[in-house]
Structure 1
Amino acid sequence: MGDGNARGNSSNRPEWLQQYDLIGKIGEGTYGLVFLAKIKANRSKSIAIKKFKQSKDGDGVSPTAIREIMLLREISHENVVKLVNVHINQADMSLYLAFDYAEHDLYGFYSYILAH
């Protein structure tokens, strides 16, 4: 998953990641990559998994990631995506956030409004 190739040998994936079937990469931003996945126990449920890019300082989890986690754990609103879980890959200390999948984001709506 770290190289952008979502489909890989499941035996090489961390144990927590084996509960998901990775579909593919759906986005990339300043702070990380986002992958679409299905929960193996409930194939009708889609999850977005965000992998944070490594801290430039190499000193662990970025303050931005910590702020995002803290805010999302506190917020519960129908218009804010739900944080489902937080995972750390012990092998390289990379951070992953699992969200309920939302087909559209605010940027997409904003772009649509500007175009019309």
Structure 2
Amino acid sequence: MALTILIVDDHPSFRSSARRVLEAGGFTVVGEAEDGAGGVAAARDLRPDVVLLDVGLPDADGFDVAGSIKALPDPPDVVIVSSRDSSDFGPLVEASGACGFVSKADLSGEAVAALLP
């Protein structure tokens, strides 16, 4: 059975391309959100296995959103994405409760699956 994933990113073009890449990589995309509040609500309502979460959202810092998602009952795994390099974020990824980071340029189903516990 394919893992389900929610994509949270404010750029429609990235959400669309991420959907194609992740579905080709074996994930089932169950929803999309364009901001942090929508991402937390969708994670709560859709109960995906994984949330692909952008750092730069219009209403919130992605690391704060990751913490909110991880505070949900039976929370999904969270994978942080950004167009920036992981070295720009230091210990913020781990401190947020996310299981890892993938740069948008390197996004693939395999890269996300490799980060999951």
Normalised by the shorter chain, which TM-score bucket? 0.3 to 0.5
What is the TM-score normalised by the length of structure 2? Answer: 0.32
Report the structure number with the largest CA radius of gyration. 1
Relative to the length of structure 1, the TM-score reads 0.33
- Structure with the bigger percentage of helix: 2
Q: Identify the structure with the greater strand proportion.
A: 1
